[in-house]
Structure formats: C-alpha cells, structure tokens
Amino acid sequence: MRTPSNSILAYIQAKDGNRPHLMAHAFAEDATLAMAVNSGAITFPPSTVGRDNIADVLVRRFGQTYENIYTFCLAVPPKNQESVFSCDWLVAMTEKESRAVRVGCGRYDWAFAEESHLAQGLAITIEAMQTLPANVVDAVMEWVSVLPYPWCSADAVIAGAPAIEGLDAVLAYIALKGR
C-alpha cells in the first residue's frame, strides 16, 4: 500500500539519484509544484503543473547541474493516512562544472491525494542556499553521508556539522526550526 512516506521517499530518490521514472511513485499526474526562493543563490520557476513537468524541473534539469545530492527531511515520517505533511529539509550537493559545494535548507509542504497517497501538491521554500568552495567537498560529503537518510533529526544535522565558514545561515535556520 502506498503511503505519503513512500511518496516522499520516491521523490527524494528520484531527485537525488537523477531517476525521473520514480516520479510516478511520488506525484499524481496532474500535481502542482510551487517554489518560493528566499535566496539569490539558486533559481527555479515559481510554479509548475504536471508530473512530467515537475520531473523536468526537479530531476532532469537539476541533475544536469548537480551531483552528489543528499536531501534530508528533518522530521519523523508522516503517518499512513495523513493528507498534508510539512517538514524542514536540508540538501547538500556539488556543482558538476565548478565542483563547488551547495548546502541549503528550507521547508516542504505536501498535500496528498486521498486514495493514492501520491503528492497532489508540493510547495518548496528555499530559505538559504550557500555556495562553498570545492576544497570543502570532502568535509561536507563526509558529514552528510553518515546522517540517517532521508529522515533525519535537526539535532543530528547540527551535531555532525563540520566547522566550515559559510554554513552559518543553514545551521542557524535548522537550529531555530528544530526547537
């Protein structure tokens, strides 16, 4: 039986692994995506309609630019029958071309179809997106690769964070929201 938790996991596996075919296990065919970007470090269209178009934005085009992607939901997975679910998130990745490291955070607001539990709507808010030099890739990837994936507590994120200049905005947001 499909659950909201399964749908979120399918989305994360699709995005992080550049597997657009998994979006059929995450989103209803007529799903909507709304993006609010509160950081000038990354851009997305403000709204997208349809699973295939969402896959283009969040998987195909994203995967052309980024690799080594780790996305974490900073919450306990939703219960089986929830129709809405919200959580904070953390992402770490590298830019394919420059090899710079990106670390960002924000909020997911999900709405699920009652019968299928596929996402009918997703609103993604990007609160912070930091660009770090390529020479910190090992420290950042070592940090995120040992975190519980994809469901992780804010405390675990903060406890294992490397002391790298430029992570302050991300860690401050997570610390504030994790309380």
Per-residue pLDDT tens digits for 86-143: 999 999 999 999 999 999 999 999 999 999 999 999 999 999 999 999 999 999 999 9
pLDDT one-digit tens code per residue, 130-165: 999 999 999 999 999 999 999 999 999 999 999 999
Q: Contact at 8 Å (CB) between 30 and 42?
A: no
4-177 CATH fold:
Nuclear Transport Factor 2; Chain: A, (3.10.450)
Indicate the domain borders of the chain.
4-177
pTM: 0.94
Q: Write out the DSSP string of the chain.
A: ---HHHHHHHHHHHHHHT-GGGGGGTEEEEEEEEEEE--TT----SEEESHHHHHIIIIIHHHHHEEEEEEEE-SPPPPTT-SEEEEEEEEEEEETTT--EEEEEEEEEEEE-TTT--EEEEEEEEEEEEEE-GGGHHHHHHHHHTS-SSB--HHHHHHH----TT-HHHHHHHHHHT-
